[in-house]
Amino acid sequence: MRESLVRAGVAFLTEKGFASTGLDEILKSVNVPKGSFYHYFESKESFGIELIKSYASYFADLLDSNYLDPGLPPLQRIAAFMEEAKTNMARYEFRRGCLVGNLGQEMAVIPDSFRQLLIETLHDWQSRTAACLKLAQAENQISSNLDCDVVAASFWIGWEGAVLRAKLERSGAPIETYGAHFLNSIQR
């Protein structure tokens, strides 16, 4: 029951964000009474923390399944991650974005405890991307002049914009445009 609450919570937050999502509609969607909810979670805030952590770890796995794929050259692994992310968005007709980006946009209305966790999550994804870029550098796919940590930081800063725009346009085209320009800009 705990797990289905988390799954439903993540779905609501990726689609509507934190402020517009009521606890009641999450509970209703999985037929869980309020009393049971408070058996598992102390408050909407601690539930939110759990949802961020769950999404962070789900997404880190998705990154690793691409970035650590020995069957592809490193730069193509990044391209494959972007393709998979786009496909996942298409499955929900581009209604669901990135939970971290959604909450990041809601800074004014989310609990302050979320903030540090969101930043840490982005840094975690960033460092996985930097590691893959360093492999690409070692294989001479990208210039040795590039600072892979800075490039990975810039990639993630812009990536959340691409996901946002894909939601707005209900299309994968913004992800393709952003991804192609990013890869072109670092490729040898």
Residues 6+ apart with CB under 8 A from 11: 96
Nearer to a second copy, 56 or 118 (CB): 118
What's the gap between Cα 5 and its chain centre?
19
Is residue 142 a contact residue for a second copy (CB under 8 A)?
A: no
CB of 101 to a second copy, least distance (A): 6
Is residue 172 a contact residue for a second copy (CB under 8 A)?
A: no
Residue with tokens 């209604």: 95
Nearer to a second copy, 16 or 44 (CB): 16
Taking Cα atoms as reference points, which of 107, 89, 87 lies closest to residue 98? 89
Measured torsion, CA atoms of residues 117, 122, 125, 126, in degrees rounded to the nearest 10: -140
Is residue 169 a contact residue for a second copy (CB under 8 A)?
A: yes
Nearer to a second copy, 74 or 104 (CB): 104
Residue 44, CA distances (Å) to 18, 68, 69, 119 in order: 10, 36, 38, 20
CB of 150 to a second copy, least distance (A): 7
Size of the site for a second copy (CB under 8 A): 42
Subset of 9-38 contacting a second copy (CB under 8 A)? 15-17, 19-20
CB of 48 to a second copy, least distance (A): 15
Subset of 60-99 contacting a second copy (CB under 8 A)? 95, 97
Distance CA 163, CA 139 (A): 29
What's the gap between Cα 36 and its chain centre?
29
Phi, psi of 111, deg, nearest 5: -60, 145
Residue with tokens 């550098």: 137
Q: Which of 36, 54, 127, 154 binds a second copy (CB under 8 A)?
A: 154
Residues that bind a second copy (CB under 8 A): 15-17, 19-20, 95, 97, 101-102, 104-109, 115, 118-119, 122, 150-151, 153-154, 157-162, 164-165, 167-169, 174, 177-178, 180-182, 185-186
